[in-house]
């Protein structure tokens, strides 16, 4: 794509600045716990035809990274354009409105600029943390309809103990429901399996249909819109309609078996113990259980792909496709048994790397891919620049418009990700070839050659042959970490 395309695009926005109604719309889609195991990201064991079709009209960033592989801190960082050390949000219980009062979120910036803003689902970490009046003109948080197993469980419980509405029964009911079947569990232990609901009975089916209704009805009136679509899956519990499980026969599930003595050279602080809740033992393979969870996770991906098709179709059928910037990403990646890990909260590639696509009408060449290093914090300055808006405060990300102009261009020198262990932070940087991490000090370090060891099996931190590389990466981590806290 020639430079003049995006320059013309931005120039047109500048000319239209007197009338915000002429500004481009923005559709911001963020999934929950979605890793890169989808065909749209090159993983062809999990077909995602609607995302593939979107990718064929967009730019796909093959090396995009979150700043914190946990929902709350990741979203606070992405939606503020600030690294976690600057947001002060390093746990799911922290709210940026308390840790950094006055911070203007991405949707608030658009609302303050005259956009109609609306959201469904999980955008900020939970409903309590949604800055509703500041950020949104309209917001909805849907829940799944009650599926058949829950109905059966309630009937059985109430026949023996009375109504679940009675205060004295509530705790017992929750325990009974969790033990009733694997599909009626919550997050610990994670529930998984097919439901008897139709797509529209699941919260993500409702999310997609609500966004489609806004697009088809012109809910934004004469204003441009910023619509955020928070897709809950594939977050646990891994529930989806039966037809999506049927796409992944359990005997056809493939994965790379656990490597023996994988953790012999990795600092123990690098591990998350979430695998215990999933029912696994550390460094011990359980083929049958692993297949069940992978099947359920992949079924959830197939389900959300179908729901996103509803949104994309509505955007096209309403005539808004060529007037709308579309962003697709996930809050962080997810382990499915790699390094014995399950879930999130690590600094490995499986957890820190995220799917990421953007389509800017008239700018992004169709089907383009970029191998540049990019980060979640880059969304905020990118969307402001594309929409001709100014920042309301400091931003630490870097606009991606140069990569929209030239996808083969250089990205960042490093991508930076952190995660808590108690009151301390483990910190990691990725360069084009290397990943380096420190767990509180240089004595507990990791160094991987991602070019020759993409699965991060061999920690080179104690290998004297790589002493100079280790020293260089350690110094770089210190510089990047210091800058990450500059806006605190």
Q: What is the pLDDT of residues 248-286, one digit of tens each?
A: 999 999 999 999 999 999 999 999 999 999 999 999 999
pTM to 2 decimal places:
0.95
**418 domain residue, yes or no:** no
Query: What is the DSSP code string of 97-140?
Result: HHHSTT---HHHHHHHTT-EEEEES-SSSSGGG--HHHH-SEEE
Between CA 113 and CA 39 the distance in angstroms is 37
Between CA 160 and CA 46 the distance in angstroms is 43
57: Cα separation from own chain's centroid:
21
pLDDT of residue 229: 98
Q: What are phi and psi of 143, to 5 degrees?
A: -130, 160
Longest dimension (CA), the chain: 73
Please report the sign of the dihedral spanned by the C-alpha atoms of residue 215, residue 220, residue 221, residue 225.
Answer: negative
User: Residue 429's beta-bridge partner residues?
Assistant: 416, 436
**Domain enclosing residue 315, as ranges:** 3-145+197-408
Q: Based on the domain organization, do 185 and 60 belong to the same domain?
A: no
Q: Based on the domain organization, do 398 and 257 belong to the same domain?
A: yes
pLDDT of residue 22: 78
Please tell me the total number of residues recorded for the chain in this structure: 488
Closest CA to 359 of 61, 152, 62, 129: 61
How far apart, in Å, are the Cα atoms of 20 and each of 13, 101, 225, 381? 9, 28, 10, 18
**228 domain residue, yes or no:** yes
CB 419 within 8 A of CB 70: yes
Q: Based on the domain organization, do 283 and 153 belong to the same domain?
A: no
Count of CB atoms situated within 10 Å of the CB of 5: 16
Q: Based on the domain organization, do 30 and 158 belong to the same domain?
A: no
Pick from 191, 214, 246: which residue ends a domain? 191
Q: Based on the domain organization, do 79 and 103 belong to the same domain?
A: yes
**429 domain residue, yes or no:** no
Q: Based on the domain organization, do 248 and 347 belong to the same domain?
A: yes
Between CA 72 and CA 129 the distance in angstroms is 9
**482 domain residue, yes or no:** no
User: Residue 438's beta-bridge partner residues?
Assistant: 427, 445
Q: Based on the domain organization, do 58 and 173 belong to the same domain?
A: no
Closest CA to 298 of 345, 249, 354, 229: 249
Between CA 253 and CA 380 the distance in angstroms is 38
Question: Is residue 447 classed as helix, strand or coil in its secondary structure?
Answer: strand
Pick from 408, 434, 456: which residue ends a domain? 408
pLDDT of residue 18: 41
Count of CB atoms situated within 10 Å of the CB of 283: 15
Between CA 335 and CA 258 the distance in angstroms is 12
Between CA 254 and CA 337 the distance in angstroms is 12
Q: Cis peptide before 290, with omega less than 30 degrees from 0? A: no
State which H helix or E strand residue 294 sits in.
helix 287-317
**477 domain residue, yes or no:** no
Q: What are phi and psi of 240, to 5 degrees?
A: -160, 160
Q: Degrees (nearest 5) of the Cα angle 373, 375, 379?
A: 125
Q: Based on the domain organization, do 296 and 339 belong to the same domain?
A: yes
User: Residue 59's beta-bridge partner residues?
Assistant: 358, 368
pLDDT of residue 1: 41
Q: Based on the domain organization, do 388 and 261 belong to the same domain?
A: yes
Pick from 408, 430, 459: which residue ends a domain? 408
Q: Based on the domain organization, do 165 and 208 belong to the same domain?
A: no
Residues of the chain with pLDDT below 70 are 1-21
Q: Based on the domain organization, do 222 and 206 belong to the same domain?
A: yes
Closest CA to 124 of 94, 102, 154, 149: 94
Helices (H), 26-70: 49-55
pLDDT of residue 15: 43
User: Residue 25's beta-bridge partner residues?
Assistant: 324
CB 117 within 8 A of CB 107: yes
Domain count, the chain: 2
* Domain harbouring 61, CATH code: 3.40.720.10
């Amino acid at each position: 794509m020639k430079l003049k395309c995006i320059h013309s695009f931005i120039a047109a926005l500048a000319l239209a600045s007197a009338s915000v109604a002429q500004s481009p719309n923005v559709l911001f889609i963020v999934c929950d716990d979605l890793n890169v195991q989808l065909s749209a990201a090159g993983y062809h064991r999990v077909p995602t035809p609607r995302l593939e079709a979107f990718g064929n009209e967009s730019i796909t960033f093959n090396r995009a990274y979150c700043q914190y592989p946990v929902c709350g801190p990741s979203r606070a960082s992405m939606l503020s354009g600030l690294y976690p050390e600057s947001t002060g949000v390093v746990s799911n219980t922290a709210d940026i409105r308390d840790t950094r009062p006055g911070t203007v979120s991405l949707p608030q910036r658009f609302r303050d600029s005259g956009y109609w803003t609306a959201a469904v689902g999980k955008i900020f970490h939970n409903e309590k943390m949604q800055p509703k009046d500041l950020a949104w003109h309209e917001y909805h948080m849907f829940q799944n309809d009650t599926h058949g197993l829950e109905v059966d469980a309630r009937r059985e419980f109430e026949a023996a103990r009375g109504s679940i509405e009675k205060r004295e029964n509530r705790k017992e009911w929750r325990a009974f429901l969790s033990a009733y079947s694997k599909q009626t569990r919550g997050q610990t232990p994670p529930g998984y399996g097919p439901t008897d609901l139709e797509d529209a009975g699941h919260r993500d089916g409702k999310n997609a249909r609500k966004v489609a209704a806004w697009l088809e009805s012109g809910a934004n009136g004469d204003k441009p819109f910023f619509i955020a679509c928070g897709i809950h899956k594939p977050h646990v519990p891994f529930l989806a309609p039966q037809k999506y499980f049927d796409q992944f026969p359990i005997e056809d599930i493939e994965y790379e078996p656990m490597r023996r003595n994988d953790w012999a050279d990795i600092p123990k602080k690098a591990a998350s113990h979430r695998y215990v809740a999933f029912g696994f033992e550390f460094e011990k393979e359980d083929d049958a259980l692993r297949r069940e969870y992978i099947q359920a996770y992949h079924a959830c991906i197939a389900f959300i792909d179908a729901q996103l098709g509803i949104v994309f179709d509505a955007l096209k059928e309403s005539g808004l496709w060529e007037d709308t910037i579309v962003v697709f990403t996930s809050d962080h990646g997810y382990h499915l048994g790699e390094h014995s890990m399950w879930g999130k909260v690590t600094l490995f590639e499986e957890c820190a790397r995220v799917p990421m696509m953007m389509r800017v009408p008239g700018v992004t060449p169709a089907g383009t891919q970029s191998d540049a290093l990019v980060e979640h914090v880059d969304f905020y300055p990118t969307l402001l620049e594309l929409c001709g808006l100014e920042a309301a405060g400091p931003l630490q990300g870097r606009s991606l418009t140069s990569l929209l102009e030239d996808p083969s261009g250089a990205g960042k020198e490093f991508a930076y990700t952190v995660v808590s262990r108690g009151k301390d932070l483990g910190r990691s940087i990725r360069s084009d070839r290397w990943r380096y991490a420190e767990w509180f000090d240089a004595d507990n370090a990791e160094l991987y050659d991602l070019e020759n060891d993409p699965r991060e099996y061999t920690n080179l931190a104690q290998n004297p042959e790589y002493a100079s590389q280790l020293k260089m990466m350690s110094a770089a981590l210190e510089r990047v970490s210091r800058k990450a806290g500059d806006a605190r």
